[in-house]
Amino acid sequence: MPHAAPPRLILASASTARLALLHGAGLAVEAHPAHVDEAEIKAAAQADGVGPDDAALLIAELKAARIARREPDALVIAADQLLIAGEEWFDKPPNLNTARAQLLALRGRAHTLVTAVLCQRGGARIWHHVARPSLTMRDFSDEFLDAYLTAEGDALTACVGAYRLEGMGVQLFDRIEGDYFSILGLPLLPLLGFLRQHGALPG
């Protein structure tokens, strides 16, 4: 009896970092951006008492559903990431002034990156995973911060933490605990394990 053909893989995201992780891992995946109002959804979730894990999964699911409606036979991968420090949730900074204020608020403190990934096929969620890496920023100087913002520029507005760990942003930290790929925005190892079980990757 012949094996079923592996499903077509679609990443419901405009994130170049997530797409690069999947391509680097050898996956033949297409990127179809799925636009949802993340800030509004997060604000509503907080107002309703929804926890950050469920909020991140909700946003990822809405992204996946947008693509899955158009591509019902594909296996759609979607992800979302929230930054939590104390009771405060942080969004992607819209500009460098906001990025600077956010980094000052996080300076010398620990925060958590709630990173959710899920897969949909045929309009139904078939798998999900949430990772919670913890990062502690060092007490960096104002001079370092100014140099960092100048060096990284507008690329920081695409990052929920206003830093890219794969770049100069690693210099912001004293301690990092948790999965590196999850910090970059995608819990890659659990996802690859699921895709193998689902027949989307060779075992």
Active site residue 80: yes
Give the CA distances from residue 175 to residues 57, 111, 178, in Å, rounded to whole numbers and listed in that order.
26, 11, 10
Question: Among residues 53, 73, 80, 142, which one is catalytic?
Answer: 80
> DSSP letters along the chain, please?
-PPPPPPPEEE----HHHHHHHHHTT--EEE------HHHHHHHHHHTT--HHHHHHHHHHHHHHHHHHH-TTSEEEEEEEEEEETTEEEPPPSSHHHHHHHHHHHTT-EEEEEEEEEEEETTEEEEEEEE--EEEE----HHHHHHHHHHHGGGGGGSTTS--TTTGGGGGEEEEES-HHHHTT--HHHHHHHHHHTTSS--
Of 81, 71, 95, 72, nearest in space to 133 by CA: 81
Instruction: Give the active site residues.
Output: 80
